[in-house]
Structure 1
Amino acid sequence: MNSLFPVMVGGAVGAGARHLVGQAMLARFGPGFPWWTLSVNIVGSLAMGLLIGLLARSGTGGETTRLFVGVGMLGGFTTFSSFSMEFWLLFERGQSVQAGLYVVASVVGALLACGAGMILIRQLPA
């Protein structure tokens, strides 16, 4: 039960942030392409890379932070289940090129962002 609380609170914060980003992106760009999911997955992956780098650097006291931020906040913020659904919606609407580009942009963008976060943290003085 001790580890559950930071995950639950972090998840609520992350899900709320995802909702706010989604609303803002939908209002700005409209419903034609799932920019909101793409952006939260890439930003969330960057944040995960930064978190991993910081926790690896500190070496101590990171379990509660990992649970709150990594499992809770970022788990609630990123949306790969939504990503999967949005891929199929694009595909079923006959937008197979957009669907394919969405997959490539999401996966490559998320991997690059996570790596960038780790590299950025390594560049900072200890």
Structure 2
Amino acid sequence: MNYVNFIYIAFGGALGAISRYILSTWIYNKSQQIFPYGTLAVNIIGCFFLGVFYTLTLEKSVIAPQIRIMVTVGFLGAFTTFSTFSLETLNLVKENNISMALLYIVTSVILGLLAVWLGTVSANFFNKLGERGENIAQD
């Protein structure tokens, strides 16, 4: 394992996370809507740039592997993991694994929603336990 790659990934990831925050917040503030336009825009922009960068660097290999990993895994990975999900799904379709692509889509969305829901339920449970503990300590 090349540990130097971790530095490139971390640097790209920091820039991607900051860029995501700035762009999604700016869009949210401009739209002032309930619909998450900022996140949607970040996901779609990230997908577009991952498609462009992946295709250009895969076909031409003109970019150093460290830069490729910094941009794809680091920057775009932190900017939006949805882009990676979309690329992997597209690759399954290109390999004519349509059923696997559909399974990946449905499983990712359903399990993702379920995991978020379970996370919120768990957090609420622990918050209530904490509140009960505080109430008992105050008595």
TM-score, length-normalised on structure 1? Answer: 0.59
C-alpha displacement of 1:62: 3.5
Give the whole-Å Cα distance in 2 for the aligned partners of 1:60 and 1:68: 15
Q: Which runs of 5+ in 2 are unaligned?
A: 83-108, 118-139
| Number of equivalenced pairs | 85
Q: Give 1:60 shift.
A: 4.9
Once residues 49 and 4 of structure 1 are traced to their aligned partners in structure 2, the CA distance between those partners, rounded to angstroms, is 23
2:12 is aligned with 1:10: yes
Cα deviation code 1:40-97 (max 9, x no counterpart): 11100110011112112323544112211000000111154xx956xx79xxxxxxxx
Partner of 1:70: 72
Indicate the structure (1 or 2) with the bigger Cα radius of gyration.
2
The whole-number CA distance in structure 1 between the counterparts of 2:28 and 2:62 is: 40
Which is worse superposed, 17-26 or 54-63? 54-63
Which of 14, 22, 29 is the equivalent residue of 2:31? Answer: 29
| Large movers: runs of 4+ above 6 Å | none
Q: Is the 8 A contact 2:20 2:79 kept in 1?
A: yes
Q: What SS does the corresponding residue of 2:4 show, helix, strand or coil?
A: coil
Residue segments in structure 1 that go unaligned for 5+ positions in a row: 90-126
| Residues 24, 41 of structure 2: 8 Å contact kept | no
1:9 deviates by 0.3
> For residues 18 and 52 of structure 1, what CA distance do their matches in structure 2 show?
19
Q: What is the CA–CA distance in structure 2 between the aligned matches of 1:79 and 1:52, rounded to whole Å? A: 15
* Equivalent residue runs for 1:1-126 within 5 Å: 1-80=3-82
